[in-house]
């Protein structure tokens, strides 16, 4: 016998007995405890899936926040290539000459090139950085680093030389 021919003749008594069992099962249904257990299991699986989905979204959000924060900190705090501006803390002795440039308001703006402009400024400019004027003079020399866009990025103070006093 092949599959296309189908099963052979079924005994009518067997067919009737199988039908009776099927009808009895349909009328009876599942026990209440089985139904309750199945519903509880389905709820638990659904809750687990939802929690897993929430954890994935929270992890993704945390990764985005960390990436944005890292990019922002890297952009602001890392010195740009081609610059030599270094920040110093203004806790120096009154007569000490700061050798490094002090950052100004636009020090975090990227710069590729610039120039140093020398000028004479009032001693109060040093005081605004928390530094004492040199030797009690009213004016000091300032080297100002100016970027290619015209923004002043940093300043370095030094005492006036006799040649600068004459001007």
Per-residue pLDDT of the chain (167 residues; tens, 9 = 90+): 455 555 667 788 998 999 998 888 777 767 778 888 888 998 888 888 888 888 888 888 888 888 777 776 654 444 444 444 443 333 444 445 556 888 888 778 888 888 888 888 888 888 888 787 777 778 888 899 888 888 888 898 888 776 555 55
Helix (H, G, I), strand (E, B) or coil at 144: strand
- For residue 156, the surrounding DSSP H or E stretch is strand 152-158
Sign of CA dihedral 91, 141, 153, 80: negative
**In the chain, where the domains are located:** 12-74, 102-166
């Amino acid at each position: 016998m092949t599959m296309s021919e189908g099963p052979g003749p079924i005994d009518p008594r067997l067919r009737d007995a199988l039908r009776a069992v099927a009808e009895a099962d349909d009328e009876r249904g599942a026990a209440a405890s089985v139904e309750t257990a199945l519903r509880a299991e389905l709820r638990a699986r659904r809750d687990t899936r939802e929690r897993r989905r929430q954890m994935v979204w929270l992890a993704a959000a945390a990764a985005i926040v960390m990436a944005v924060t890292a990019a922002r900190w890297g952009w602001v705090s890392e010195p740009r290539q081609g610059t030599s501006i270094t920040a110093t803390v203004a806790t120096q002795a009154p007569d000490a000459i700061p050798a490094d440039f002090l950052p100004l308001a636009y020090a975090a703006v990227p710069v590729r090139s610039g120039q140093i402009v020398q000028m004479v400024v009032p001693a109060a400019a040093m005081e605004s950085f928390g530094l004492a004027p040199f030797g009690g003079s009213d004016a000091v020399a300032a080297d100002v680093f100016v970027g290619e866009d015209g923004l002043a990025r940093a300043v370095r103070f030094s005492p006036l030389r006799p040649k600068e006093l004459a001007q």
